[in-house]
Amino acid sequence: MSERVTISSPSTLALAGGSPVRSSFLPFHQPLVDADDERAVLETLRSGWLTTGPRTKAFEKELAAYTGAAHCVGVNSCTAALHLALEAVGVGPGDEVITSPITFASTANVIVHRGAQPVFVDVAPDTFNIDAAAIERAVTPRTKALIPVDFAGHPCDLDAIMSIGARHGIPVIEDAAHAIGAQYKGRPIGGIADMTCFSFYATKNITSGEGGALTTNRQEWADRISVMALHGISRDAWKRYGTEGYKHWDIIAPGYKYNMFDIQASLVRSQMNKMDAFHKRRVALKQRLDTGLSDCSEIALPSERADVVHAYHLYPILVRPERLSADRDTIMNAIQAENIGIGIHFRAVHLHPFYADTFGFRRGMFPVAEAYSDQTISLPLYPRMTDQDADDTVAAVRKVLAHYRR
């Protein structure tokens, strides 16, 4: 008797009308906010002081201590931190800033906001972090800053990048949006580069909904950034309506409205208390995904170097086109149809219309980044996930790969 495959066979893709691996959708990300976080925010709401004030200042001290940096400035996003960092080092029209094409829009956009030229270079084929040798080749007399990105939470090659920066007198502004809690050669991210920018956006390893921070050892940059984050008005302007009574303030430069405020600060401080527990859970889930997918030759799993503590912000797999009869987008849609949320981090920035049209970037310029950009799918990885959620993710990926296997 021949076996009859019916529409309800567990191997029929949900995309083709079969039953999905899960009956309910697993979101790509959900923040973990608990009763302590709620209490911290409520206390601030009841305190009589909502905007930038004592809680923001306390957070800045705590993050500086955690990262080992001398100074920290809380801001309202990592984008703001990156923008202010470029302003502080004097990047302007005619300057070039080198960064990675495998990053979020804002890493490149802030270079354009300063009127400077983004210079992309290719990434390394194991971590997909910016390739230090490619940076070296791209440096010109007009290079005013380097912005390496700790992609997915894996610290970039900081020794090599810092040494290029030092040799040419170019500041290194690390985009550590993914990398709070990560370490490079035993040192926390945030205390190594000239400036480090963090994100506390809703999907990040710790969150304040929206938020960011910048750490540095240089007092003059920290001072400039504090001023420029709050309209360019004189330092400690947040005290101007405080208990010490009204004081005049001066505009010393046309700054921005980028300040962190105390509601945000109270949430992110409370989240910081759970950073180690969150990281432990990310490690366990990452290992569960690794174990469940390690024999799938149709995909490559994320790899990491021996000298880092990875923040495991993302879990990007790469589909191998030579082993599959479908492209990345088809695989991605099929996994989502199984009720598993996915993300794409990132389609290479230089191929986006604005960057290609404005600066003449073309496919073929950065082959490692482009292949990555075409093949990557991020699977869910966050502390709120249960073991079952991770197992469902594995089951969905395996089901889809089995269907499209060549």
- Annotated catalytic sites, by residue? 204
Provide the pairing of β-strand 195-199 with 173-175: parallel
Is 144 in a helix, a strand, or coil?
A: strand
Q: How many residues does the chain have?
A: 406
Q: Is the dihedral of CA 22, 25, 29, 32 positive or negative?
A: negative
Neighbours of 246 (CB within 10 A): 9
Tokens of 322: 């030579």
Provide the pairing of β-strand 117-120 with 195-199: unpaired
Q: Which amino acid is at 240?
A: R
Provide the pairing of β-strand 183-184 with 308-309: antiparallel
198-202: long-range contacts at Cβ-Cβ below 8 A with a sequence spacing of 24 or more?
Answer: 198/63, 198/78, 198/81, 199/77, 199/78, 200/78, 200/264, 200/268, 200/271, 201/77, 201/78, 201/177, 202/29, 202/31
Dist. CA 121–CA 128, nearest whole Å: 11
Decide: 21 and 334 in contact? Cβ < 8 Å: no
Q: Is the dihedral of CA 151, 156, 162, 164 positive or negative?
A: negative
Tokens of 124: 């390394």
Q: How far is the CB of 247 from ligand PLP (least distance, A)?
A: 32
Tokens of 350: 């230089």
Q: Which residues are paired to 398 by β-bridges? A: none
Neighbours of 1 (CB within 10 A): 3
DSSP H or E stretch at residue 403 = helix 387-404
- Binding residues for ligand PLP, rule: CB under 6 A, are 77-79, 103-104, 106-107, 149, 175, 177-178, 199, 201, 212
Dist. CA 201–CA 198, nearest whole Å: 9
Provide the pairing of β-strand 143-147 with 173-175: unpaired
Whose Cβ is closer to ligand PLP: residue 88's or residue 149's? Answer: 149
Whose Cβ is closer to ligand PLP: residue 203's or residue 339's? Answer: 203
Dist. CA 53–CA 49, nearest whole Å: 7
Decide: 44 and 266 in contact? Cβ < 8 Å: yes
DSSP code of residue 290: H
